[in-house]
Amino acid sequence: MNTSKNSKRSRSDLRPAQLALIEEIKGAPSGIAVLGMGGGKTASYLTALLDMQAEGIVTRGIMLAPARVVDNVWLNEPAKWSHLQHMDVVPVTGAPSRRKKIMDSSDADMLVVSIDNVKWLVDYLKKAKWDLSQIALGIDEMSKFKQPTSKRGRELMKIAHLFDGVWGLTGTPRPNGVEDLFLPIKIVGGKMAWGVSSFSEWRELNFRKLDYHGYKWAPHTFTLPSLERIAKEWMVYGPVDDLVKPKLNTGLDFVRYVDASPEQALHLAELNKDLMTNLPDGGDVMALIEAMGRAAVTGKMTQIVQGFAYDETGRGIPLKNNPKLDMMAEMDSELGGDSAIVSYGYRAEIPQLEALFKHRRVGLLGGGISTAKANATIDAWNNGEIDRLLLHPASAGHGIELQFGGHHIVHYHPQWSAELYDQVIKRIDRPAQTHEVFNWWISMRGTVDDLKYARVEEKLQNEESFRQILRRMGV
């Protein structure tokens, strides 16, 4: 895969699974497309929309997406492809007045709205009296609508049937079972897609209680086949054999960017100010950093970027907002049933990540655990008993085999060392790995993360890398 900054892929670079998905979207007005994280759902949907516009089927599209994906993934995707580069994708963000102004004035090919603003969108479209029959509605990460009685779901049901079609995109069709499909299939198939419109009635007909209070339910053995048949009518799965290739996917296409919170920006500005205050007239910033200790300066930057401020005793104090943790939550949802290694750096990050993954089976390699515990964790991971493996790069020594447990890595806390970075990747990108490996980054724009990426991915020399990041930071 060519991931250089200046290259563009063409339509001929779309994989068989993507081409199949494009034809499904064009051939049926509504459905749920299932393709794993990194499988290419974004480019597939945009290509299908482009074709439907060219054929006069629709005039434009509206995409509902998680907040952190609105102006990141969807906004940036067209520029990566020669056949999509002229598509106008506009994020509808900001205060309600700003969102209204964008909707009123934009003739974009696709408007991208946060799932959090579903009620606002429904109210706007009802008042504006748009002809929705000429518009395609897409929903990125359909699992966000898995709660059958959610307010956003009820709001969307008011207008979903008015669109030319509704396609949901997901890598996780049923995170917790068939019940999670009730609302998504109603959204794409209409309120009677299951035969009844009420969730409680549907559940009483098709499920049995597993406990006295009715907190847990399971489908009857005699109703499960019909439930599966209905689900199959609305769901399209990407061909599995298209992804079963020992190939490493890495580079800028697999970086999820976040912006510093106001609190982080303030701390970084203060650090910048301290650097400039200590710089003598005519002095060289690089010389100053060398004198102060390169590790000390960049270490402070990293602490802030990862969401911490450290007091005089060395105790890590979490900052109020942590954009990286928020992005990790979005990626966790996208990954769904796919297991993933999450590379961390600070011990203080462990409880934060464990709390985030409280609904998952979590393992830990690092954090001072014993050899016996580490070996047991490795076995559990390779046996499919762990969903999220928190891994410190120093614990990913040569010879450790993790390729049997998953094929996704998320660098939550990017590393400086190219050797440690490659070592982490090689734990799953190795012989006996039967799937494509996806190497993800969570990176904060205009910070030390840019420097780390330059060091380990772009292989820039140390001084050149330092000067590059310092220029971006305004030093």
Cα Rg, the chain, nearest whole Å: 24
The dihedrals phi and psi of 315, each to the nearest 5 degrees, come to -75, 130
Q: H or E stretch including 382?
A: helix 371-382
Share of the chain above pLDDT 90, in %: 51
- Side chain identity, residue 309: A
The sign of the torsion formed by the CA atoms of 142, 147, 148, 153 equals: negative
Residues forming a β-bridge with 111: 62, 90
Q: Say what the pLDDT of residue 48 is.
A: 97
Least confident range of 3-12, 159-168, 307-316: 3-12
Question: Which conformational region is residue 239 in: left (phi greater than 0), alpha (psi within -120 to 50 degrees), or beta?
Answer: beta
Inform me whether the pLDDT recorded for 241 exceeds 80. no
The sign of the torsion formed by the CA atoms of 32, 33, 35, 38 equals: negative
Q: Say what the pLDDT of residue 471 is.
A: 58
| Mean pLDDT for the stretch of residues 307-324 | 81
pLDDT tens digits, one per residue of 255-283:
999 999 999 999 888 877 766 665 555 55
Inform me whether the pLDDT recorded for 466 exceeds 70. no
- Give the rounded distance of the alpha carbon of 183 from its chain centre: 22
Where in 233-369 does DSSP place strands (E)? 235-237, 248-249, 255-258, 308-310, 316-318, 340-343, 362-365
For residue 313, what are its two tokens? Answer: 């005793």
Cα–Cα distances (Å) from 387 to 35, 178, 215, 240, in that order, read: 18, 20, 24, 20
Please state, in angstroms and rounded to a whole number, the distance separating the CA atoms of residues 326 and 86. Answer: 31
3-state secondary structure of 393: helix
pLDDT tens digits, one per residue of 140-192:
988 889 888 889 999 999 999 999 999 999 876 665 678 889 999 999 999 89
Least confident range of 54-58, 299-303, 449-453, 463-467: 463-467
For residue 434, give every residue at least 6 positions away whose Cβ sits within 8 Å of its Cβ, in sequence order, or none: 244, 246
Least confident range of 200-204, 401-405, 409-413, 440-444: 401-405
pLDDT tens digits, one per residue of 221-234:
999 899 989 988 99
The sign of the torsion formed by the CA atoms of 324, 326, 331, 332 equals: positive
Please, what is the average pLDDT of the chain? 85
pLDDT tens digits, one per residue of 104-148:
999 999 999 999 999 999 999 999 989 999 999 999 988 889 888
Q: H or E stretch including 52?
A: helix 41-54
| Mean pLDDT for the stretch of residues 433-440 | 89
Is beta strand 207-209 parallel, antiparallel or unpaired with respect to 217-219? antiparallel
